[in-house]
Amino acid sequence: MSCNPTNLPLKRWLTIEELDSEYGFNRTTQKRMRHLKIIPFSKVGKKIRYDRVELDKWLESHRIA
């Protein structure tokens, strides 16, 4: 599991608010990216969750240079 600068383990599944806070994708951007199936996410009922591991892989795969 990834660690933050304080060396505490990071939570794997992020809420919409946590994704905004930690990765800087605001709610509107998240909604658009989910609708277009651009960003990896899971949905259980009405709850949206983002897997930190999948997000990090996704971000790495979209790196330029």
End-to-end Cα separation, the chain, in angstroms: 26
Q: What is the pLDDT of residue 9?
A: 74
What domain range includes position 21?
Answer: 15-61
pLDDT tens per residue, range 8-47 = 678 999 999 999 999 999 999 999 999 999 999 999 999 9
What is the pTM assigned to this prediction? 0.81
pLDDT of 2 over the 90 cut: no
Q: Is residue 42 part of a domain?
A: yes
Q: Is residue 9 part of a domain?
A: no
How many C-beta atoms lie closer than 10 Å to residue 61's C-beta? Answer: 7
Instruction: Write out 16-63 in H/E/C secondary structure.
Output: HHHHHHHHCCCHHHHHHHHHCCCCCCEEECCEEEEEHHHHHHHHHHCC
Q: Using CA atoms, how far apart are residues 18 and 36, in angstroms rounded to an integer? A: 21
How many domains does one find in the chain?
A: 1
